[in-house]
Structure formats: structure tokens, C-alpha cells
Amino acid sequence: MQKTIYQPGKKNGIVRKIETITKHGDRIWLGLNFSMGVVIIVLMVLIGILLWNQSAASRQEFGLSFISPFARATWNPVNGTFNAWPFIYGTLITSLVAILIAVPLSLGIAIFLFELCPAWLRTPLSLLVELLSAIPSVVYGLWGIFVFLPVVIAPLGKFLGNALGNLPLLGILFIGPISASGSSRLAAGVILAIMITPTIAAVSRDVFMAIPNSQREASLALGATRWETISKVLLPYGVSGILGAVILGLGRALGETMAVTMVIGNSISNSGSLLKAGYTMSSVIANEFAEAVSALHSQALIEVALILFLMTLVLNIIARLLVWRVSRKSSSEVRA
Amino acid sequence: MHSKRTSIAAIFLAGAVMLSACSTAATPNTTSANSSASGSIQINGAGATFPQPVYAAWTYAYQYVDPSVAVNYQGIGSGGGKKAIIDGTVDFAGSDSLLTADEYTSGKDLQMIPILAGAVVPIYNLTLGSGAPTTPLILNGVLLAGIYNGTLTMWNDPAIVALNPDLASFLPAEKITAVHRSDGSGTTELFTKALTSFSPTWTAGGAASVEWPVDAAGNGIGGKGNPGVAAAVQNTPNSIGYVELSYALSNKIAYASMINKAGALVVANGASIESAMSDFANTFTDKLTNTIVDAPGKGSWPIAGYTYLVLHTTSTTDCVKTQKLLEYVRWSLTDSGAAKLATDLGYSVLPTSVQGMVLDTLGKVTCNGAAVPQ
């Protein structure tokens, strides 16, 4: 019995050897984890450097006129003149439309799932919402072409064109008529909204679940109605988390390629209207990169990729700063 | 606890059995073709979607001609094919778009060889209403140039009605949506070269990727690949597009007849393609390329073109693969079964004189400095 008790003072040779090796285990483990984190940063920096270098000739040739909305909107591989503003505009406007539709929709879904849903419906409905985000992008595109565009977008576009096309400022966005098959920026925006809603809804629901019950109970105890509790107590408390969810959704919308390419019409037009066919940065790269043989054409496409990369980075940084600022404000409010 | 473990194990076992059954059932052809010879030779090609229906039929049939070889062709567009052969990622490329001087320099020892000729046809989706005659629409080159320039915008334009008097009351007063290719395409190059020849108003050039004036006018839509354009036309009412003849035939899409340079009405078929080929029989360049659009003959289809294979001629190092590739190409050119597969799909095989030129050129391909055994 005495022999089996571990006596730290007395060790035989093998035990001591094993100890000298394994006592560094923690450090090795921490080091591995640290290097994994560093790998991510290094990867991003390398991608940025690659994009920057490979687009050198194009940047030198066109300079700022590449992204200028005032230069002639031309993407001409035959002459070698390129201007990427139509694609930048397409990406921005479709993502904006997607966010405008998806955020209220997702918040509504999250609030319903959290607050108002009967218990027997909660789990199946949450599962269905999460399943929506698992549908592949190309399936959304196919469904869009064959079902959604002719059945929903074409009539909707006709209605919006007639109703809003003549308004002074907003009308520019709705100059009709909508293209015959429904392929338009509006179609891309709506399908993007459907694709990012599950992401935003799932994260928002988790944010609501994380709010301590005491807040809700205190508000109800003070006599607030359900709606007042949600709008005045829960939403402000969770706004930083919800903003984070919206950032996630926006990131997906900016980069989404397949579904957008299939429904946006792939056309570089002079009109900025939502009802006309358009083009996005990711679509033009997907369509043209495999065949861009002339060096200037490939470099121009890589410059478009660089712009997309920087745009996503900048938007994410702005949104992250916003989240920090808001969370500082809201927590101080709660404390007061 | 014990019963739970056995039930989980049983589920895994059943799943594994079912999955293995699925995988063996799913691919009967390739496994039988490969298992008959140990280590089958894989030949990869990529490029134009213009000849893709024929290449798919040929690669399938060739498994039975020579089971030790598996030929694989991917339709990614002529531009993609040219890039792939220059980069060395494929053994042969398919392209209707001619190699430029820069591409010949980057590729070093590339040779284009004509394999087939095909026709590009204007397909359309028109709702004419009941009682309308079912004869195809008649167009001419000037009209097509106008449509893709964005200057001819309505289906009931007097110029279209003039060519189609019996459709006068049925042509709708709707805007024409013109569908074009969004990727770099040899079909586009053929079509735009034809437009350049048809009308001086077409100034966007004749190349695989152009800036479409109809886009700037707001009536253009881009589709990816010949199948993409066919699908876009089918899904867009009152639209027009251009695809290779076999896509129009196999998808049963209506395609227009055209009035050619001689002023005669022609339908796209084997005979009109052959007529175009014979009109330009002596204008082959020293690179074995030829443009046969806007042919002057009475029975010639105005938008016909050769489709080419692009091969490396001196820099290949795998001589067995090179020999097998050349055998496949010779089979596709000379075998009567292969010719029938092509003509059934709406293409035309090369006339004997051109075939002779091509076979001569194939004989000059070397591998590692030595001639390739035939």
C-alpha cells in the first residue's frame, strides 16, 4: 500500500524523464492555439497583398477612374477600357435592399420565437429557420429563376414601377418597366434578403435568450405591456448583439455570388433603377475570370476583387466600432 | 446500456451497407470501362460549349472503341478552354474563338485544328396569340445588328413586319429583350463577327467578350454558356438570343430563318452549313483557321463557323497520352459512326479536302522530339 502512494520527493528514472517532457505541455498547447489565431491574420494579410500585387497594372492604368461613378460606364475587354462603378453600385444596392427587408423580418421572427411562440411550436420553427440557411446558394438561384421571379417579382416590379416610378427622388430607383423575365436588382435584393434572414434571426434569438429574465420580469412588474417590454427594455439591451447579427448578414449579402448571378441579369446598363437588370462585383468575377486571357482584363477583375475585399473589411470595421459604441452606451443606461 | 451500444452499432453497419450499395449502383459505365483495363489513361479537355453536345456523345462512344482511354470534356467557354491549354491544365481545348497573337506567344506551340462546323441561330420567345401561323420568324443580318445595338427595340417594328408579312397582325407591341453571353464565348465571337460583316452600324467588334450596346440601352440580359442563353430566352417573354443549333433543336426552342447575303431565305441545317464551308474552301490561313460568316452562296447559312481543337504540338512529355489523344482525334474525324453522331445533332463534318489538311497537320505532332506513332 505504501508503495502505490505517489511520493513527490522520491521518483524513479522513467517517471522523471516523462515529467521533464510533459511539464512543458501547457506551454506547447498555448503556443499551438496562439499560432492558429495568428494563421487567420496572416492568411488575410496574404490575400490582401496578393490582390494588391496582381492588380498593379490595372491600378496604374486606370487609377481612380476605375471606381468613379462619373467616368463612362464601360467594361470593354476588346478595347481594354474598364470602369467598375456599375458593379460596385450593383453590390451596394442589392445588399442595401436585402438588409432593409431582412432586418425587420428577422427581428420579427426572433421576437416571435422568443416571446410569443407557444412552446410546442418553438423547437420545430427554430429548426426550420436554421434549415433555411443550410439551403445551397445555387438552389436559391434555380428556385428564383423558375418560381420566384415569374410569380412574385415580375408582378411586384410592375406594381412598383407604376406606383413609384414617377416620384421625384425615389422614382429614379423605380424607373420601370421591369425586365420581362423579372431578372433585376430587385430580384437579387429580395432573394439575398431571404438568404440572410435565417442568419440574423438565429443570432438575434440567441441574443434575446441571453438577456437575464430579471429585466423582463422587472419591466412587466412595473406595468409595462408586452410590446413596451420588448421595445423599451429587451431591444435596447440586446441591440449590440443584434447589430452583430446584422453585420454577419451584411457580410454574406456582399459576397453572395451564385444566387445573385442567376437572377440579376448580368447586364451593364446605364440606368440605376432597381427594376432593371444589373451586375455585381462577385458576379462579374465569377462570369469572366476563368476566361480573361488578356493580362489587363484579368488584372482589372482582380482589382474588382480587391475593392470587394476592402469594402467588406471597411464595412465590418465600421459596424464593429458601432457595436462597441452602442454597447458602452446601452450598458450605462441600464446601470442608471 | 449494452443494448443501446449494440443498437448504435447496428445502425452504423446498416448505413455502411446501404452507402456502399449506392456507390456501386450509381456509376455502372465508368466502372465497367475502367475495370476492363488496369490503369486507364485519362485525357482531359475543356472549352467551348458550342460543340459540347457532340463531344459528350463522342467521349461516351469512345469508351467502347478504346476501353483503355477515358476522355473527359468540360464546357467552360472558349475563353476558359484557351486559358486552360495555355496554363497546361488540360490536354486539349475546344474553342470557336481564334487564338490571338499574344495567346500563340504565351502558349508557345499551340495549333488549332478544325473539327466540325456548326451554325449559330437566333432563338426567340414570342407570344403571338392564337391563330398565328407557326412558320419560323424571318430575320436578316441588318435587323439582328439593330436589335443588338439597341436601336431596333420593338417586336412590331416595320422592318421586322416587312420580312414577316403574315405575322403582321400578331407581332406584339413589346420591347425586345436581347439575351447575350455573359462569359467569354466563341459563339459570341462567331455571332459578333457576323454582325460586323452584316452592318457597318455594329461597332462593338467581333470578339469573344464585347461591350453590348443593347445593355447600355437597358434591354440586354447575360446568360452563362449556351445552355444559360437558351434558358434565359425560354424564361423571358418577348426575347431573342443566339445559340448553337443543337441547343435550339434539343430544347425545342423556336429559331429564326434568315435572309443571307445572296438575298435567299435559308434555314440552318447541315446543307446550309456545308454551303457556307464550300464558299470559303480556299481561304484557310496558315494556322488552319477560317472564317465562314456571311457566306455569299445562295444556300449558305450566314452565321456558320468552324469549331477547333487546340493542341500542343511539340511540348508534350507523356507520349502514350499524346498518342492516345491523336488516335481519338483521328477517330472523331474519320469514323463514320462519329460523323453520324455529329450530323444527327445538327453539325457538319469537314469536307474531304479540309480533313486531309487536318490529318496532315496531326501527323506532324511530336512528343519529346520524336514523331508520335500512328
Put simply, the chain A residues between 157 and 186 with a CB less than 8 A from any chain B CB are 177, 179-181, 183
Q: What is the pLDDT of residues A46-105, one digit of tens each?
A: 999 999 999 998 998 888 888 888 877 788 888 888 999 999 999 999 999 999 999 999
Confidence of residue B28 (pLDDT cuts 50, 70, 90): very low
Distance CA A32, CA B147 (A): 63
Average pLDDT rounded to a whole number, residues A106-134: 90
Nearest by Cα to B120 from B292, B265, B283: B292
Distance CA A299, CA A292 (A): 9
The answer, for B229 touching chain A at a CB cutoff of 8 Å, is no
Q: Check residue A72 and give its pLDDT.
A: 78
Q: What angle do CA B4, B10, B12 make, to 5 degrees?
A: 105
CB contact under 8 A, B231 and A145: yes
Q: Cα separations (Å) of A132 from A60, A105, A242, A261?
A: 44, 14, 19, 20
pLDDT at A325 over 70: yes
* Cα of A34 to nearest chain B Cα, Å: 37
pLDDT at B188 over 70: yes
Domains and CATH numbers, chain A: 55-335 (1.10.3720.10)
* Cα of A181 to nearest chain B Cα, Å: 4
Are A275 and A175 in contact by the 8 Å Cβ rule? The answer is yes
* Cα of B90 to nearest chain A Cα, Å: 14
pLDDT at B374 over 80: no
Instruction: Please report how many Cα atoms fall inside a 13 Å half-sphere around the Cα of residue A37, on the Cβ side.
Output: 5
Put simply, the chain A residues between 187 and 216 with a CB less than 8 A from any chain B CB are none
Q: What is the pLDDT of residues B154-164, one digit of tens each?
A: 999 999 999 99
CB contact under 8 A, A277 and B238: no
* Option in A74, A287, A293 nearest B83 (CB): A293
The string over A153-171, giving b where at least 16 C-beta atoms fall within 10 Å of a residue's C-beta and e elsewhere, is bbebbeebbeebbeeeeee
* Option in A177, A267, A290 nearest B221 (CB): A267
The answer, for A142 touching chain B at a CB cutoff of 8 Å, is no
Distance CA A110, CA A207 (A): 9
Q: Check residue A23 and give its pLDDT.
A: 81
* Cα of B66 to nearest chain A Cα, Å: 32
Question: Going edge to edge, which strands form the sheet with B257-259?
Answer: B138-140, B257-259, B265-266
Average pLDDT rounded to a whole number, residues B219-242: 90
Least CA distance to B175: which residue of chain A?
A180
What are B128's three cell numbers?
403571338
pLDDT at B125 over 90: yes
Domains and CATH numbers, chain B: 2-118+305-371 (3.40.190.10), 119-279 (3.40.190.10)
Q: What is the pLDDT of residues A204-244, one digit of tens each?
A: 988 888 888 898 899 999 999 988 999 898 888 888 888 88
Are A16 and A9 in contact by the 8 Å Cβ rule? The answer is no
Distance CA A103, CA A242 (A): 9
Give the bridge partners for B371, in sequence order: B366
Q: What is the pLDDT of residues B32-83, one digit of tens each?
A: 333 344 458 899 999 988 899 999 999 999 999 999 999 999 988 888 888 8
Residue type at B229 in one-letter notation: V
Distance CA A146, CA A151 (A): 9
Q: Looking at beta carbons, which residues of chain B come within 8 Å of A290?
A: 76-77, 79-80, 83, 183-184
Q: How much is the pTM?
A: 0.80
State whether the Cα torsion A188-A193-A195-A196 is positive or negative: positive
The answer, for A298 touching chain B at a CB cutoff of 8 Å, is no
The string over B58-72, giving b where at least 16 C-beta atoms fall within 10 Å of a residue's C-beta and e elsewhere, is bbeebbeebeebbbe
Average pLDDT rounded to a whole number, residues A286-294: 80
Average pLDDT rounded to a whole number, residues B206-211: 86
pLDDT at B25 over 80: no
